[in-house]
A = this chain, B = another copy of it.
């Protein structure tokens, strides 16, 4: 597995890769068709991937991390059409949510039919919420953490299958650097009442210096929990809890680690003659590994 090259919309001479891989203009991509086994799509879900993944899926095996949950069905159709036309594999929505969390929701619901599942996010940095705070007048920089509520986690683990509101599941904590002399009361108020972002949550705002922000909040940690609880037995007298937890120092580095594993699967499936759009639900887990079926059964089963 190696990075052959990188394609950028920027001027290639301004982009330096850590691996040393050569950078080309995105417009030149079709000239490199034969050097590339799998193309990893690194654009954003809002406007990049809905265009780029179908456009490239005709020419390359592709993997993306499209994460606008409600638009996945349309994205799937578009990529499926292009991939089939080109006889290629396109795996979409790879990462941890969607991705590993989705897999755990699926396995949990198939095993414990009589049950309920819960997804909690955090503790982790929400880039979207941090951006929203930065757009407030008088704010220099900001970092927002999403935090699962411990009591809600415990209630779920008890197997009681509670109904939980948005406010009961997560809290939001904000670290804000304000301009000198800015009205902190006003900034705090604008944050906590912000529609769709903060109004449905209990939100705490801390004002700190730029030095503190850079020193204590420079990482991009994230993670969360998928918990399925369910009952079995003649009188449903037995409770079961399946809990999957991620605790990640770097959200983008973990996400890309998942994507690289699925890139291997895309290549192998296509080598076997398969084409079309796939998701993590469709991929036999052994395809992620560089070990043979024989080795896997011996070492890991």
A246 neighbours in B (Cβ, 8 Å): 240-243
Contact B240 A249 (CB under 8 A): yes
Contact A107 B100 (CB under 8 A): yes
- For window 213-252 of A, CB contacts with B under 8 Å fall at 219, 232-234, 237-250
A247 neighbours in B (Cβ, 8 Å): 157, 240-241, 243
- What CA separation (Å) do A284 and B269 show in the bound complex? 12
A248–chain B nearest beta-carbon distance, Å: 5
- For window 228-285 of A, CB contacts with B under 8 Å fall at 232-234, 237-250, 253-254, 257-258, 261, 264, 279-285
A233 neighbours in B (Cβ, 8 Å): 250, 253
Q: Work out how many copies of this chain go into the complex.
A: 2
A76 neighbours in B (Cβ, 8 Å): 297
Contact A245 B248 (CB under 8 A): no
- What CA separation (Å) do A26 and B234 show in the bound complex? 25
Q: A246-B242, A261-B111, A281-B285 are in contact. Are A297 and B106 (CB under 8 A)?
A: no
A3 within 8 A of B: no
Contact B111 A258 (CB under 8 A): yes
**Cβ-defined partner of A249 (8 Å) among B102, B239, B280:** B239
A-B contact pairs, 8 of them (CB 8 A): A73-B297, A73-B298, A111-B288, A112-B257, A238-B249, A240-B248, A243-B246, A282-B285
Which residues of A are at the interface with B, using a C-beta cutoff of 8 A? 18, 69, 72-73, 76, 93, 98, 100, 102-103, 105-107, 109-113, 157, 219, 232-234, 237-250, 253-254, 257-258, 261, 264, 279-286, 288-289, 293-294, 296-298, 300-301
